[in-house]
Amino acid sequence: MITKLRKVGNSRGVILPAPWRIILEAPVATRQGWFDGYSSKEDVSVWGDVAELDSTEEWEW
């Protein structure tokens, strides 16, 4: 039986009929193929414009 998560209060849960056995598994392998075709040479730093702070430097508030 394939079912969906249902909202139960502030959480989500699975509603099952009483006589069923419970086997929960992900429908596909988690994060499968995330880095297929990844090239570090083409990677761009999103923090490139942010200056690094010296950790010994005091902050002024």
pLDDT along the chain (61 residues), means of 10: 84 82 77 85 81 70 78
Residues near 15 by Cβ (< 8 Å), separated by ≥ 6? 3, 6, 8
Instruction: Please indicate, yes or no, whether the overall pTM of this predicted structure exceeds 0.75.
Output: no
Q: How many CA atoms lie within 13 A of 12 on its CB side?
A: 4
